[in-house]
Amino acid sequence: MDEPEGWYAVALGADIEPSTSAGTRLFGHELVVWRDAGGAVHVWEDRCPHRGMRLSFGFVRGDHIACLYHGWRYDTAGQCRFIPAHPDLEVSPMIRTRTYPCRERAGLIWVRWGAPAEEAEPAPVAASPLRSLYLEAPAARLAAALGEAGPDGLVRFDLAGSPVLVAVQPLAGEASAAHIVVPDTPEAPEADLGRLAAACVTLRRSIEGAAP
């Protein structure tokens, strides 16, 4: 799978609550997305260096994430800080996970894939979370149905008569996700979100049903 470098949305910010983690994929690579108790998000390779267990199965305590298998605890820099079986051990700096640059923008959590970005951070966008749609369709088919993304990674799309912003996440092969937010405008009523969320189901059906 071609892996163009850039920023990719991996979740709605609201779906990763403080002190929780979730597993996801980008181009088939397993990632853990987690938010520490202070609210900062982190996107790492989803692998404990000890036994290869997925860290997304583990748990967040304060500003550490711990592996489900043996409780090895990692700080926000991905450095292992504590090994329960050897509580007095000063953990080697070699024991660390692979971390990726990440940020929150437009109500979405983004990860940088490929070489670190040189460009200036794009202007913030005020938006309300709608939902993440997970589709059994390759990312290319989403792009064909939704349109191409702008330089900030967001597709401007008309969903049932309302403007929404969509970020496509290529999960793996035939699986992809569309993270959808509604730009905040004074005239957009809050109650409209339910109608748009229902329209997402129709959109998913139409994309999955489209000829490859």
Which positions lie near other proteins, rule CB under 8 A? 11-12, 15, 17, 20, 22-25, 57, 59, 68, 131-132, 134, 171, 177, 193-194, 197-198, 201
Q: How far is the CB of 47 from other proteins (least distance, A)?
A: 14
134 DSSP β-pair partners: 177
Judging by beta carbons within 10 Å of its beta carbon (0-12, 13-18, 19+), is residue 115 exposed, middle or buried? exposed
Residue type, 195: R
Nearer to other proteins, 30 or 96 (CB): 30
**Which residue in this structure is represented by tokens 């000063």?**
90
Q: How far is the CB of 194 from other proteins (least distance, A)?
A: 4
Nearer to other proteins, 98 or 195 (CB): 195
Q: How far is the CB of 184 from other proteins (least distance, A)?
A: 16
Nearer to other proteins, 53 or 149 (CB): 53
CA–CA distance, 72 with 173 (Å, rounded to integer):
32
Q: How far is the CB of 176 from other proteins (least distance, A)?
A: 11
Nearer to other proteins, 143 or 193 (CB): 193
| Residue 17 CB partners (closer than 8 Å, separation 6+) | 35
Cβ–Cβ < 8 Å for 55, 96: no
Q: How far is the CB of 115 from other proteins (least distance, A)?
A: 26
Nearer to other proteins, 15 or 75 (CB): 15
For 75, the token pair is: 């700080």
DSSP string, 28-74: TEEEEEEE-TTS-EEEEES--TTT---GGGSEEETTEEE-TTT--EE
Residue type, 25: R
